Amino acid sequence: MKIAVLGTGMVGRTLAGALSGLGHGVVVGTRDPQATLARSGPEATGAPPFSEWHAANQHILLETFADAASEAELVVNATSGTGALAALSSAGSANLAGKVVMDVSNALDYSQGMPPVLNPVNTDSLGERIQSAFPDARVVKTLNTMNAGLMVDPGRLAGGDHSVFVSGDDADAKKAVTELLQALGHRDVIDLGDITSARGAEMMMPAWLRLWGVLGTLDFNFKIVR
């Protein structure tokens, strides 16, 4: 499958590498490829610059958002929550129409410091806003409740016995995403329902952030026991 991963941060890099490792044709999208490659210092998260990762993964092309999305069969939104709509707008409505858009981002607002707050919340979600802004795309919210490492290697924690959620209006799109999640090793994929159920998945983030502070590690996830 041809997959475009929009976003060059740790989540985008990790997903792009793992999906390429599964045999998919992967392209990474960014606003300005030359500017992205020109960055030399560590990122805000402390991660090395994208250019170092790209040098070790030259088989994965770096293109503009629009060019990456244009040939893709599935588009992964791995941008920051605050930049998601702008990035997808740059990708272009026509380039997203009819395609599965797998949204793994979180609408976290850091303007008031730590911990961040959700915006939107309760009566709306970022997943819904993306679907509303791009009505011809088939948006599926997933993977936003865990760190990048667990997204692509769930077996590193409890043998993979933890839960991942999918939300979306299109049953075939959710099936395609579920198969992709299973190929990555996820054993417990729970369909929460239509795209409005993304509110629930996104509102797990405040608890996730508090758990991170208490546990002192990013290597944890939720398990729904039933």
Q: Is 173 exposed, middle or buried (0-12, 13-18, 19+ CB in 10 A)?
A: buried
Contact (CB, 8 A) for 167 and 140: yes
d(CA 131, CA 28): 21
Q: Mind listing the pLDDT tens digit of every residue in the chain (226 residues)? A: 999 999 999 999 999 999 999 999 999 999 999 999 999 877 777 789 999 999 999 999 999 999 999 999 999 999 998 999 999 999 999 999 999 999 999 999 888 888 888 999 999 999 999 999 999 999 999 999 999 999 999 999 998 999 999 999 999 999 999 999 999 999 999 999 999 999 999 999 999 999 999 999 999 999 999 9
* Domain locations in the chain as residue ranges: 2-215
DSSP-based three-state secondary structure for 153: coil
Amino acid letter, residue 47:
A
| Topology adopted by domain 2-215 | Rossmann fold (3.40.50)
Contact (CB, 8 A) for 217 and 190: no
